Amino acid sequence: MNKVLLSACLLGRRVRYDGGGLAVADDILARWQSEGRVVTVCPEVDAGMAIPRPPAEIQGGDGRDVLAGSATVMERDGGVVTDAFRRGAELALAACQRHGIRVAVLTESSPSCGSQTIYDGRFAGHKRDGVGVTTALLTAHGIQVFSQHRLAEADAALRASPGAR
């Protein structure tokens, strides 16, 4: 059975920087869970970051630029957490490779998990187009990443994957 990678906070796990979760209620998610398809990760916590932790944003680009070495991930208080974000992305990729996962649903606008938007690095609540570090790494390895707002598209991609069932 094809599995799908899911941001742990979307199932309500309290792993976000502020100690909260998101708990998206959706029939597709519920079906995936009942089918045993879901593999959860939290790249930041998996990399050893604390709960709660300071908010972080990418400065100088997006997740692709972080992987290329031309952007950094900064905490609001000035801490540099680029290496932890890269490590979290690598752990998420390893989970995909372990389970043969080709489709992921990750939380929009996160500096790790965003797939269409991220915060712009000024810690002022403004978003820009771009992807998070984990999304950048998964995409570079051919994994399709969708946000929680595109679950129907993710479900279609899952069913269109090689050997889908």
Q: List contacts with ligand SF4 (CB under 6 A).
A: 7-9, 15-16, 42-45, 107, 110, 112-113
Nearer to ligand SF4, 61 or 88 (CB): 88
Rounded Cα distance between 104 and 134, Å, is: 11
Rounded Cα distance between 132 and 7, Å, is: 12
Rounded Cα distance between 155 and 55, Å, is: 31
> What residues have CB less than 8 Å from 47, skipping those under 6 apart?
84, 85, 87, 88, 91
Smallest distance from ligand SF4 to CB 162, Å: 26
Smallest distance from ligand SF4 to CB 10, Å: 7
Nearer to ligand SF4, 129 or 160 (CB): 129
Rounded Cα distance between 116 and 80, Å, is: 23
Smallest distance from ligand SF4 to CB 40, Å: 8
Nearer to ligand SF4, 103 or 163 (CB): 103
Smallest distance from ligand SF4 to CB 152, Å: 20
